[in-house]
Amino acid sequence: MIAIILARKNSKEIKNKNLTLIRNKPLIYWTILSCLKSKFIKETYVSSDSKKILKIAKSFGVKTIVRPTKISGDKSSSEAGWLHAIKEIEKNLDFETVIALQATSCLRSKKNLDKAILFYKKKKFDTLFSGNEIKSPFYWQKKNKKLISNYDFKKRKMRQETKSIILENGSFFIFKKNGFKKNKNRFFGKIGFFKDEYYTSFQIDSKDDLELLKILMNRNVYSKKINKKYLL
């Protein structure tokens, strides 16, 4: 099994987001570290269009892949990045399974990756994704400039009575290489869900996310639990 971490140079809200310092380490470091700690990940690769990111990733002991500019834009899919990386890695290494990790999800449990990998193997999934199981929220959507609810607000149920839904948190995806290459999609065949803990669902996509993470890390009520159980 090999790990692929995609880390683009540009970000709309946070400049050089993947290099933003968290506990005096660049954001991408924490995802790299979780891969290096895994018992099952044979090699870890960082794919990026940034020379700086690639240099820093290499200094942490992982291999790097130069991601072409044409598949590194805001509208470029992760699938395109993974497919390019897989083809590059195949030139020198034989492997069957890929675990694709998101650099912005830095609060992974120390043991969650290996637990997920074991679960993936035991259940013989083709694809496994990380997520959180939550009670169906009461949400509204705009349609033709009008607000439409997803529930009957005239007969509003108690939250405990609503059905649970599974929310992808993007932390990681595990999939068979050949199935992915054939379908050009992270989801195919027998799909499974790995239930993550609450903290692991937190990811940095905006400046607000970044500030919130800093607050959580600096408050005593959270820091002891996070330091003991998580990588940060």
The structural domains of the chain, ordered by start, are: 2-133+167-229 (3.90.550.10)
The DSSP string of the chain is: -EEEEE--S--SSSTTGGG-EETTEEHHHHHHHHHHT-SS--EEEEEES-HHHHHHHHHTT-EEEEPPGGGSSTT--HHHHHHHHHHHHHTT---SEEEEEETT----BTTHHHHHHHHHHHHT-SEEEEEEEEEPP--EEEETTEEEESS-GGGPPPGGGSPEEEEEEEEEEEEEHHHHHHHTSS--SSEEEEE--TGGG----SHHHHHHHHHHHHSHHHHHHHHHHB--
Q: Residue 220 pLDDT > 50, yes or no?
A: no
Per residue in 96-130, pLDDT (tens digit) is 999 999 998 887 877 889 999 999 999 999 999 99
222 band by pLDDT with thresholds 50, 70 and 90: very low
Nearest to residue 128, comparing CAs of 138, 112, 117? 117
Q: Residue 33 pLDDT > 70, yes or no?
A: yes
CB 162 within 8 A of CB 198: no
| pTM summary value | 0.88
228 band by pLDDT with thresholds 50, 70 and 90: low
Among 33-37, 38-42, 160-164, where is mean pLDDT lowest?
Answer: 160-164
Per residue in 83-96, pLDDT (tens digit) is 999 999 999 999 99
159 band by pLDDT with thresholds 50, 70 and 90: confident
Nearest to residue 222, comparing CAs of 213, 26, 30, 204? 213
In angstroms, rounded to a whole number, what is the distance separating the alpha carbons of residues 86 and 65? 10
Per-residue pLDDT at 217: 60
Q: Residue 150 pLDDT > 70, yes or no?
A: yes
**Mean pLDDT over the full length of the chain:** 88
Per-residue pLDDT at 225: 52
Among 17-21, 34-38, 194-198, 228-232, where is mean pLDDT lowest?
Answer: 228-232
Nearest to residue 111, comparing CAs of 53, 193, 196, 2? 196
